[in-house]
Amino acid sequence: MDDLRTTLLSFSAEDRKELGRFIQRQGKAQKGRLDVRLFDLLLQSREYTTDELLPRLYPDDDEPNATAYYALRKRLLSHITDFLLLRQRHHDPTAASSVRGQLTLAEYLFEAGVHRLAWGALRKAEKVAQAHEQYELLNTVYNLQIAQADSEHAEDLADIIRRRNLNKKCAEEEERAGMAHALIRRRLREARLHGRAGEAFNTIIQDVLREYDLQEAFARRPSLLYRLLAITRSAMLARGDFMSFTPFAIRCYHLMAKRHGFTPAHRYYQLGLLYMIAHGLYRSRRFDESIGYLEQLKTVLYAEPRSYFADFYPKYTFLLAANYAFLRRNKDSIQLLEDLLKGRETALAPRDELTARLGLGFHYFAEGQYQKTNRVLMKIGRSDRWCEQQMGLEWVVMKNMGEMLVQLEMDNHDVALNRVRAIERGLRERVEEGASAYHHVFTYLRLVREIIENPEVVKTPAFRQRVEEMPHALPEQREDLQVLSFFGWLRARIAGRPYYEVLLAMSNEQ
């Protein structure tokens, strides 16, 4: 496998377009540039060997120069690096890129002899780094200040050294936190493998924090708490254990809010913590409590300046709509998502627009508005391959299954059966039918196929028994509200009741 090609394929379709345009802007705009040509060749559906690439890049050379080819690869990799650095600067939520930018500017100005302006850049870098707890970068700022202390524009050297030594303690604390995070992640994974992640959860975290003397640090620094909860949340997501994670997250959040509070510089972390809690409560089926934390999130989100609004507002809306659906407020869910798609509050990124359209389709379906469901799914207007690159295979499978059920509800049985076959065929091309992650999908599709071929089968005891056994066969981490929503359709068919009523009843089952 060509590592450079693998790197390029890791980008989303939209990012590849942006990268291609970025490369075009580098250097002279001349026809047939080899770095652009190599970029295009590496993104072809077929993977070429080096011997196949050389004549395509150098068609006029009888014996293409391999040395020139490897230099070309280095140039392309350099373009990728520059592109990622530029993108990071635009998307960095912690202001680290701003500090790096000021440092780079200061270094250049010192070399150019513009010391007054250079020291101004260093002071700005120090201020931003302190506000956003960028302690490692702050150490670099102080070291450069010390190196340039002979300048007539410099600050007092003794004071710089004092600030540097105070910061060094925080930087060392940050390093210990990094090691603690790695240990927590590993020990939670080991506990999960032994089937005791839930009971070991609190003990593992407390032991590691005590071992690295970090109990107080995590109670006063939002950035460390956010990283800790993000790691533990990922571990608990893997097995759907929100009952253990969510109370812990709530305790940590309120302890920090009470003791130290959140400054405007901590807004990203505060929003992230509130979202984790609200999402955990939703997945634990504590819908009213989830909405309560979403209201807190909204208050922070609308505070001036509206930092991170475009990142968090869609997430807030999706989760609020999901909660409303299980509180008999599905029409409010529809209104929220319709307004979001109209862009009244913020423009949507491609991923958010896809999420909004699929979610809106779900809410229309729950109301029995199948024509509207069909139209909103058709408005996605993208191929499955493009959607998979943006959202992943699982999202595409859910979309296709939703389309299949819509066609069945509209009595387009032949179309629905073709959709079943297409989903099965697409999955078999990617995974083994017995693979644990998608075994339940194949089982579900077989049950739907039987209904399409013989609608009366839902009245047979054998079919009902298979449907009742299905949730117990789901992988533990998959038994969530999204998956159970599809299972609810089967139950509704068997019971001859409205789908939404069955889904609400299921959401109250423990």
| pLDDT band at residue 475 using 50, 70 and 90 as cut-offs | very low
Taking Cα atoms as reference points, which of 156, 153, 152, 130 lies closest to residue 141?
130
pLDDT, tens digit (0-9, with 9 covering 90-100), for 311-369: 899 999 999 999 999 999 999 999 999 999 998 788 888 889 999 999 999 999 999 99
Mean pLDDT of 28-53: 81
Find out whether the peptide bond into 305 is cis, omega within 30 degrees of 0.
yes
* 160 close to 145: Cβ distance less than 8 angstroms: yes
Residue 25, SS3?
helix
Please say if the pLDDT value at position 474 is more than 80. Answer: no
Please say if the pLDDT value at position 285 is more than 80. Answer: yes
102, burial (CB in 10 Å: exposed 0-12, middle 13-18, buried 19+): buried
50's CB contacts (< 8 A; 6+ apart) are: 66, 69
| pLDDT band at residue 484 using 50, 70 and 90 as cut-offs | confident
CA pair distance 385, 308, nearest whole angstrom: 30
Higher pLDDT, 102 or 189: 102
Mean pLDDT of 483-498: 88
60-86 burial, b for 16+ CB within 10 Å, e for fewer?
Answer: eeeebeeeebeebbeebeebbeebeee
266's CB contacts (< 8 A; 6+ apart) are: 222, 223
Give ∠ CA 392-80-307 in degrees, rounded to 5.
65
Residue 299, SS3?
helix
Higher pLDDT, 133 or 105: 105
